[in-house]
């Protein structure tokens, strides 16, 4: 609770999270829910994006942590490298075809 209160205070927010409020928010019969703007701070303190993921799933959205962002960037770069390799292969084939057409094969070009 101290950590979440410190984060909230650092952002100039006046809400104080108490043990009582945490118990109400986390109880299986949760009759009180935390304000939505508190969730990012809660997630940071507990080290999990799961509470925000639960909110995003009905929208078909998925949250990504730092690792997932790096994996996505790696995939993007690999796809781009594949496109470049394909373009290089086509250019080489076109060059070889033109060399055959003009009889330049084996002439040191």
Contact 44, 53 (CB under 8 A): no
Tokens of residue 8, six digits: 């909230």
Q: What average pLDDT does the segment 11-21 reach? A: 87
Q: How confident is the model at residue 60 (pLDDT cuts 50, 70, 90)?
A: very high
Q: How confident is the model at residue 106 (pLDDT cuts 50, 70, 90)?
A: low
Q: What local confidence, expressed as pLDDT, does residue 22 receive?
A: 82
Contact 94, 84 (CB under 8 A): no
Q: How confident is the model at residue 103 (pLDDT cuts 50, 70, 90)?
A: confident
CA distance 57 to 59: 5
More confident residue, 100 or 86: 86
Q: Which of 19, 23, 39 is nearest to 31 (CA)?
A: 23
Q: What average pLDDT does the segment 46-72 reach? A: 90
Percent of the chain scored above 70 by pLDDT?
A: 95
For residue 105, pLDDT over 80 is answered with no
Contact 6, 15 (CB under 8 A): no
């Amino acid at each position: 609770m101290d950590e979440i209160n410190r984060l909230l205070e650092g952002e100039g927010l006046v809400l104080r999270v108490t043990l009582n409020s945490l118990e109400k928010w986390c109880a299986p019969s949760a009759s009180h829910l935390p304000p939505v703007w508190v969730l990012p701070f809660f997630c940071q303190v507990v080290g999990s994006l799961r509470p925000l993921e639960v909110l995003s799933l009905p929208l078909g959205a998925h949250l990504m942590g730092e690792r997932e962002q790096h994996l996505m960037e790696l995939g993007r770069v690999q796809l781009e490298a594949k496109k470049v390799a394909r373009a290089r292969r086509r250019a080489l084939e076109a060059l070889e075809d033109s060399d055959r057409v003009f009889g330049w094969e084996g002439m040191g070009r």
